[in-house]
Amino acid sequence: METRHIVVGIDGSRTSLAAAHWAARDAARRMLAVHVVLAYEWAWHGAHFTAAPPAEAIARENAEATVHGAADEIRLALPQLVVTSEAVRGRPADVLIKAGAGADEIVVGNRGAGGFASLLLGSVSQQVATHAPCPVVVVHDDADAHTPTGPVVVGVDGSAGDNLSVRLAFEAAKARDTSLVVVHAYTLPLVWGGYGVTPAVCNDPIFTEQPRKIVQDAAALWRDKYPDVPVETAVVRGFAADVLTGVSTKAQLVVVGSRGHGGFAGLLLGSVGQQLLHHSHSPVLVARTRPND
């Protein structure tokens, strides 16, 4: 597609349809189009051969009916929106990554069945998060029930990736006419006194000054370009996944980098990312560079 657009992956599950409607609302407020994609295969799982032609035709017809039905739902809810759709044979991660080339954003549900089953539970999620050619938004199945009036929250860690994360967060806050909260999580080092001695928390001010500088520097990024967006900062002592999950209860959207260090290290590569993407109460935007950035 040459028109600026958002790609949303669906599979017919309730979660994926919630993601599709979230993507449509996001596209409407940003004046973008929506492209709905469903990946399907007609081979039996684990088989080294494809099914007979009748099975292939049935699989294709079912996939096309599902994806066109989702597109029709979006058009009914938002008649002014430009919506296209397609069913594509192939592995979900490969299909979604390819479809995202040139897109402003890829949106997926946090769980589902069929073409995008277990998107966040295994290799598919890592492939999309690692190789997607644009930002990725993960939407939970209660997205429609989530409050739309909170701020946009961005997690920062002092790495070079903060620049992109903060810019996308400012964009999202401006599009939603809401405020931005820049958050940094940190933990204090422990001081060991020897074998059998309970460690003590080191409260030296030097270990709290650095977190404050990180969040202040991040908040200053892109502020001149978005002067109308109110900005707040928060330095929170705790583990990154717990902090972000907590603030997500009042947020419209949580924005994080795809990699970094410090408070949000390895966000998509280990347990922190898995916890956030599974337990966040709001959609999570993984900041990745777009081709035209």
Report the distance separating Cα 273 and Cα 174, nearest Å. Answer: 26
**Span of 119-128, 132-141, 182-191 with lowest mean pLDDT:** 119-128
Question: What pLDDT shows up at residue 241?
Answer: 84
Pairing of strands 136-139, 190-191: unpaired
- In this prediction, what percent of the chain has a pLDDT beyond 90? 47
The CATH 3.40.50.620 portion of the chain extends over 5-144, 152-287
Question: What pLDDT shows up at residue 68?
Answer: 96
Confidence of residue 169 (pLDDT cuts 50, 70, 90): very high
Confidence of residue 23 (pLDDT cuts 50, 70, 90): very high
Report the distance separating Cα 196 and Cα 185, nearest Å. Answer: 30
More confident residue, 205 or 107: 107
Q: Which residues are bridge partners to 215 per DSSP?
A: none
Q: Which residue carries 């080339």 as its tokens?
A: 101
- In this prediction, what percent of the chain has a pLDDT beyond 70? 73
User: pTM of the entire structure?
Assistant: 0.85
Selected from 3.50.50.60, 1.10.3720.10, 3.40.50.620, 1.10.10.60, the CATH number assigned to the domain covering 152-287 reads 3.40.50.620
Question: What pLDDT shows up at residue 277?
Answer: 74
Q: How far is CA 284 from the centre of its chain?
A: 4
- How far, in Å, are 32, 99, 194, 239 from residue 1 at the CA level? 12, 9, 64, 41
The CATH code of domain 5-144 reads 3.40.50.620
Are 161 and 293 in contact by the 8 Å Cβ rule? The answer is: no
Are 112 and 78 in contact by the 8 Å Cβ rule? The answer is: no
- Is 60 exceeded by the pLDDT of residue 260? no
Two tokens, residue 161? 């990736």
Q: For residue 125, what are the contacts with CB-CB under 8 A and spacing of at least 6?
A: 119, 277
Pairing of strands 200-201, 190-191: antiparallel
**Segment 201-209 mean pLDDT:** 65
Mean pLDDT of the chain: 82
Q: pLDDT digits over 55-73, tens only?
A: 778 888 999 999 999 999 9
More confident residue, 122 or 198: 198
- Is 50 exceeded by the pLDDT of residue 212? yes
**Span of 11-20, 98-107, 120-129, 168-177 with lowest mean pLDDT:** 120-129
**Segment 229-234 mean pLDDT:** 96
Closest CA relative to residue 105, chosen from 211, 187, 19, 203: 19
More confident residue, 50 or 72: 72
Two tokens, residue 269? 């590569």
